[in-house]
Amino acid sequence: MLDSWVVAVLKFMASLFVIVIGVVALVVLVMYFIDRFQTQHTIRRNYPVIGRFRYLFEHIGEFFRQYFFAMDREEMPFNRAQRAWVYRAAKNEKNTVAFGSTRNLDRRGAMIFMNCPFPVLEKDRAETQRKTIGPYCKHPYQPKSFFNISGMSYGALSRPAIRALSHGAQKAGVWLNTGEGGISPFHLESGCDIVYQLGTAKYGARNDDGSLNVDMLKEKTSHEQVKMIELKLAQGAKPGKGGMLPGGKVTEEIAEIRGIPVNQPSLSPNRHVDVKNTPELLDMVEKIRTASGLPVGIKIVMGSENWLHELFTEIRQRGIESAPDFITIDGGDGGTGAAPQSLMDDVGLPLKEALPRLVDVRDQYDLQDRIRIMASGKLITPAEVAWALCAGADFINNARGFMFSLGCIQALKCNTNECPTGITTHDRGLQKGLVVSDKSERVAHYAKHMIGEVETIAHSCGVTEPRQLRRSHVRVVLSNELSIALDEMFPYKDVLPEYSSD
C-alpha cells in the first residue's frame, strides 16, 4: 500500500516537472520570437532571451559592487570607509583602526591637518565658543553645537525617519532643519530645536500662487522650538531646480502639511515667485524676520562671485541690520532624493571652492560678526567638518551622514518609494525595519562622536577648541602630489577700505 502511494507521488512529481519544463520552454520560445522581431533594443534583437539578462545585471551590479568588488575608498558618492566610520559612530563603537591608513594621501584634494609639536592636554581643552545668530531680531539664537542636521523633508523621508532624527537631535543637543516640506508634528515631537526651511514653494506658509502667507508663517513659527528660518534659494544637487516629490509619496497627511493636492507630484518652482532680484530678497528676509521675530538666513549654491558683491553692497547701503542673519552655502556636490543628472553632476561650485570664496567676500565687507556662514554638502566625517571650520564656516549642516546613522545603505532608491531601509519610503512594510527608539540613539551617537573627533583634530593642531581652527591648520594635496596650505590656496582678504573701521 505504502509503495503504491510513493509510486503515485513520484509519477505526479514527474508529470509536474514535465509540465513546468514545457511551460518554461514555451515561455522562452515566445520570448525568443518577441526579442528577435522587435526593433527597439539591439542587444535583445541580436541575442534573444539572453540579452534580457543585461537589465538584471545592470540593476544588481551596484549592490554587488558595494559589497563584494569595490575597494574601501572607491565608491561614489560615499565610499565604504566613510560609511563605515559613520556606522561605527552611530553604534557608539570604538572608531579606531589598525596597521595603517587605507587612504591615499597623495590623491589630489586630500586634506592633511598640521599637527602641533605640543598638542593640547585634556585638562586644557575648552568648551566650544558659542556664536549668536540674529543679533538684530527679537529672538536671537545661540546654538549649542557647531554640527547640526541639515534639511530633510517629511515626504522625502518617512515618518519613522523624521521621528528618529527629531529624538536624536534632542538627545545630542543639535538642531533639526525641516527641509522644504514644512513643519510636521514628527519634527516637533521630541522638543528639539527646529530650523524651519522655506523653500521656493513655501510649504506650510503659502498662498495658492506660491507667495508668502504671513499669517500662516506666524502660526508655524509660534512653536517655541522653532529657532530660525532658512529661506532656500537653491540646493547643491539641483541649483536652478525646485524640489521634486513623486505623487506616490504625497499622502493625505503630507498634502495637508504642505498645502497641496493628494497623490499629485509636489514640484517646487525653481525660484521664489515673489523674489526676482537682490533688493526684493532683502525685503523678503526683513518681512519674514519682522513677522516671526526669528533669525532669518538664506541657502544658496555659489555660481558667480559677482552676485555676492551685489548682495553685500546692497546690505552695506541699507545698513547691516538688513542682512540675512546667516548664509547656508551648499556645494554642487550636495545630495537630494531626486534631481536631473545634468544638474546633479555639472552645475554649482563644489563646496571646497565655494566655502572659502564666500567667507572671503563676506569678510571684505566687514560682515563676519553680522552674517554667520553654515557649510552644507557631503561633510560626513570629522576631517571634512574640521576642514570646513578651517575654511571659515561658523556651523556645519549635514544630511546624508545622519541618513547613514539611520541605517541607509546607499541603495540609491531614494526617488522610488522602494528604500529597503525604510528611510525614504512610505511603504509601511518597509518602514517597520526602522525602529525609532533604536535609530534615535544612533543619530545622537553620530553627532556626539563627530563633535568629539573634530575636537581631537583641533587639539592635535594645538588649539583648545574647534572654532579656533584656521586655514593654516590644513593643507590640500595638489595634482603633483605635493600639498599646499589652505591659507596659501585661499589667502585671507583685507576689508575693503570703504568698510574698514580703522
- Place 55 in a pLDDT band, splitting at 50, 70 and 90: low
- Topology adopted by domain 144-473: TIM Barrel (3.20.20)
Enumerate the domain spans of the chain. 2-69, 144-473
Sequence-ordered alpha helix ranges (H) in 293-346:
305-318, 341-346
Burial class of residue 8, CB neighbours in 10 A (0-12, 13-18, 19+): exposed
pTM here is 0.83
Mean pLDDT of 375-388: 91
- Please tell me which residue, 113 or 345, carries the higher pLDDT value: 113
User: Which residues pair with residue 352 across a beta bridge?
Assistant: none
- Please tell me which residue, 100 or 464, carries the higher pLDDT value: 464
Cα(138)–Cα(112) distance, integer angstroms:
42
pLDDT tens, residue by residue, 200-259: 888 888 888 888 999 999 999 999 999 999 999 987 555 656 667 777 778 888 888 888
Which cell is 114 given?
598640521
pLDDT tens, residue by residue, 465-500: 999 999 999 999 988 888 999 999 999 888 998 887
Mean pLDDT of 283-297: 97
Run of H or E including 267: strand 266-267
State residue 298's pLDDT score: 96
State residue 444's pLDDT score: 95
Cα(174)–Cα(194) distance, integer angstroms:
9
- Please tell me which residue, 48 or 66, carries the higher pLDDT value: 48
pLDDT tens, residue by residue, 429-462: 888 878 899 899 999 999 999 999 999 999 999 9
pLDDT at 44 over 80: no
Nearest partner of 492 among 386, 375, 392, judged by Cα: 392
User: At how many degrees (to 10) do helices 159-172 and 436-460 cross?
Assistant: 40
Instruction: Please report the DSSP string for 174-212 in residue order.
Output: --EE--TT---HHHHTT---EEEEE-TT-TTSB-TTS-B
pLDDT tens, residue by residue, 410-433: 777 777 777 888 888 888 888 887
User: Which residues pair with residue 198 across a beta bridge?
Assistant: 231
| Residue at grid coordinates 532683502 | 282
Strand ranges across the sheet with 111-113: 111-113, 474-477, 483-485
How many Å from the N-terminal Cα to the C-terminal Cα in the chain? 110
- Place 181 in a pLDDT band, splitting at 50, 70 and 90: confident
Mean pLDDT of 302-325: 94
- Place 502 in a pLDDT band, splitting at 50, 70 and 90: low
Cα(44)–Cα(53) distance, integer angstroms:
9
Cα(8)–Cα(4) distance, integer angstroms:
6
Nearest partner of 486 among 118, 112, 147, 116, judged by Cα: 112
Residue 394 in contact with residue 374, Cβ under 8 Å? yes
